[in-house]
Amino acid sequence: MPDAVRAQPKLIEPLVEEVARFDSPVQNTRRFIAEHTVVAGVELKAGEAMLLCLAAANRDPQLNPQPDAFDLHRANRQYLTFGRGRHAYPGQALACTIAAAAINELLEAGLTPQHLSRGWTYRASLNAHIPICSA
């Protein structure tokens, strides 16, 4: 796959989106219940908190067929990494554009995708997936 991205720069944007779906930087978020409701058979009262696992939702097969496959050519890719509806992050397009431009610049500077994928771990966090690069 790294060679495909280098050979076809048009794949950089789908790469950014698939990474955001597959390995969500935001793992979860809280929402507060506005009015009494029932979700999946559980009664929730106004004011109660609900923990939404965005990273898990990105792997829901009803949202994306074969969700555990990393697929640059995924048709109708859907991901909740940046929220949705009233809770959508307004900078999603800008964030993805900046990430794609950075990857493009790194590739043009001669950095290989194999080099970028070496030597990283994640900082311990309950809410975010924060990479720590050691290479």
- pLDDT tens sequence across 11-67: 999 999 999 999 888 888 888 999 999 999 999 999 999 998 888 999 999 999 999
Residue 52: the pLDDT is 87
Give the pLDDT band (50/70/90) at residue 83: confident
- What's 85's domain CATH number? 1.10.630.10
64's enclosing H/E stretch is none
Residue 34: the pLDDT is 95
Predicted confidence (pLDDT) at residue 102 exceeds the cutoff of 70 = yes
Give the Cα-Cα-Cα angle 54, 59, 60 (nearest 5 degrees). 95
- Domain with 22, as residue range(s), is 2-133
- Greatest C-alpha distance within the chain: 56
How many domains does the chain fold into?
Answer: 1
The model's pTM is 0.81
Residue 60: the pLDDT is 95
Position of tokens 């696992």?
A: 53
Give the pLDDT band (50/70/90) at residue 129: confident
Secondary structure (3-state) at 62: coil
78 CB contacts (<8 Å, ≥6 apart)? 21, 63, 64
